[in-house]
Amino acid sequence: MKPIRKLAFVINEEKSGAHEVARALMAVARRAGVTLKQTKRYPLPRGYLDGCDACCVIGGDGTLLGVARESARSGVPLIGVNRGSLGFLTTFSAEEARTHFAALLQGNFIVHQRTMLSCSAANGSHDLALNDVLIKDEINSRLVHLEVFADGELVTGYTCDGLIFSTPTGSTAYNLSAGGPLIHPDAAVIAMTPICPHTLSNRAIIFREGVQLRIFNRTGNSRLLVAMDGQRNLKVGLDSPVDISIAKHRLALAQSPDYSHFSVVRAKLKWSGALGERQHSHH
């Protein structure tokens, strides 16, 4: 990638050590003559990243989700630095960032385009999600009756605790806990996974990239909560449709040139049995 000349920092001060890491990385950037701006506020205000070459997020995956929408809108790549181990989205540990930051600023990183979901409700509200859109009853414990259409064709009606619409990036988040599939980030698809469905044969469904999904609330006198990345909510009344599709915006996520998706998955999900990681105990 081209060298970074103007860089924004978003720092989650609640993460221990975030401040120190930020200070160290900013010092490296200043020495390299990079113009800096920084904030502790996220979600970011509209237009905050305009004119920046990249945005360095110091925190965890949740912090990065709070910046993703604005980053996608402005086309500014995100460099996620995790204040702990490796994250799924914050793909640089603090140590890696410290070691390689000068090289990063020189453009020594690759950018991976991640699909996002576009979600709109009948009241005109619209939002983007990098991980998932969750649709459930506004009051936690109630069952919902939801009817799903794909490109105008009825898929089915669900009686469940909710539906999760996930991107490949979000497939390792709530979707995974609800029994949904893991999806490689290059597959531009949407996974729809019901939460605790009453019909046990209800399984996750994978939809193609161009699909237009429409969800109707068929639950008597209740409002739906539509949660974007678990952070921002829309409220939807009875028979008011929610539309979900793959957004025209992508999120540019910076990764080191030797980044391996499955090595992160193996580490984060604590999968064992990978070749070379096995203990050769049986002879």
Please give the positions annotated as active site: 61
Q: Is residue 22 within 8 Å of residue 58, measured between CB atoms?
A: yes
Q: How far apart are CA 65 and CA 53, in angstroms?
A: 19
Q: How far apart are CA 43 and CA 35, in angstroms?
A: 22
Q: Is residue 47 within 8 Å of residue 124, measured between CB atoms?
A: no
Q: Is residue 96 within 8 Å of residue 90, measured between CB atoms?
A: no
Burial state string for 118-146 with b = 16 or more CB within 10 A and e = fewer than 16: bbbbeeeeebbbbbbbbbbbeeeeebbbb
Instruction: Give which of 107, 102, 100 is closest to 77, Cα–Cα.
Output: 107
